[in-house]
Amino acid sequence: MKIFISGGTGFVGGHLVRELLQRGHQLRLLTHQRRQASDGIEQVEGDVSRPETFEEALNGCDAAINLVGIIREFPSKGVTFRKLHVQATDNLLLAARKGGVRRYLQMSALGTRPDAVAEYHRTKWQAEELVRASGLEWTIFRPSLIFGPKDAFINMLADQLRLAPVMPVIGSGSYRLQPIHADDVACCFALALEKPETVGQSYELCGNDRMGYEELLDTIAAAIGRSKPFKPHAPLGLMKMIIPVMQSLPQFPITSDQLQMLLEESICDGAWQRTFGFQPRGFKEGIGEYLRKT
């Protein structure tokens, strides 16, 4: 297949590009700036928020994949959930229809729903609704926390634990996560292109390791050869007052949206494995492969 990918130069995109190339596909990547690329990759300079810069690139493609997403807004820079989740999806769907592309895969997020508290989840849902109404042969993926060598969250926690064996925890710390490796997410995207039964379906993706936040911290500490950190608890009510005031500062590590999503948990039943037929990589094993090297 010839596949157009937006967001293909990001963290998950790197894993997906490698998986698709190994399966013999030809790729056309939307990028802000050309860079050195492997055989089988064609680069298109453009911006997903400006369809005139990329829509012709979908001509001749068999499928389109949208991985574009942000976890934090910077409105002063024009970086918003509505622009990069909703508008970008609408632009890509329109370009796909114009270019005669029928197959379409969308990256969403676990917890996405119409009545969500977090704007992140609400805009992801709005994007999903556009996909479902597109008339294309679509598949939607909703992954939990994604980990891998270049992830942001796990590496950030590991870096903090290397500096000092102290990790503040907001609230009880019992809220659960079920991380999934980026290679496993990429494999699901690639397999969906080969499985007609995935058309018109949404899949929640998670690993097999369901753990509370404090257990997650202890597992990361062990992976970098440290003892369990001291975990002082910050009162939830106090943090809900502080975060909205401080989140406009880029250096501040968490936003109200991110706190809300953490408290809501990020877990699923693993039913996706029945369709895609493989076991996800274990969290302890997976992070051990890259955290020990840094």
Is 266 exposed, middle or buried (CB count within 10 Å of its CB: 0-12, 13-18, 19+)?
A: buried
Asked if 104 and 136 touch (Cβ cutoff 8 Å), the reply is yes
Q: For residue 146, list its beta bridge partners.
A: 180
Residue 39's pLDDT band, with cuts at 50, 70 and 90, is: confident
pLDDT category of residue 69 using cuts at 50, 70 and 90: very high
Q: Has residue 235 got a pLDDT over 80?
A: yes
Per-residue pLDDT band for 76 (boundaries 50, 70, 90) equals confident
Inter-CA distances, 189 with 48, 107, 125, 143, 235, Å:
20, 9, 19, 11, 40
| Residue appearing with tokens 């000092």 | 164
Q: What local confidence, expressed as pLDDT, does residue 37 receive?
A: 74
Of 140, 180, 160, the closest CA to residue 287 belongs to 180
Q: Tell me the per-residue pLDDT of 132-173, one tens digit each, with 9 for 90 and over.
A: 999 999 999 999 999 999 999 999 999 999 999 999 999 999
- Residues 8 and 215: their CA atoms lie apart, in Å, by 32
Q: What is the pLDDT averaged over residues 241-253?
A: 91
- How does pLDDT run across 127-143, given as a tens digit for each residue? 999 999 999 999 999 99
Q: Which tokens go with 18?
A: 């490698």
Residue-level pLDDT at 155: 96
For the chain, the domains span 2-147+180-207+267-280
For residues 47-52, give the mean pLDDT: 96
What is the pLDDT, as a whole number, of residue 294?
57
204, β-bridge pairs: 142
Strand, helix or coil at 135?
A: coil
| Dihedral pair phi/psi, residue 203, rounded to 5° | -130, 130
**Cα separations (Å) of 170 from 41, 121, 186, 260, 289?**
43, 21, 32, 11, 28
Structure-token match 């690639």, residue found: 190
pTM for this structure? 0.96
Q: What is the CATH number of domain 2-147+180-207+267-280?
A: 3.40.50.720
Rounded CA-CA distance 160/143 in Å is 25
Q: What is the pLDDT of residue 220?
A: 98
- Here the tokens at position 116 are 């969500």
pLDDT-derived band of residue 250, with 50, 70 and 90 as boundaries? confident
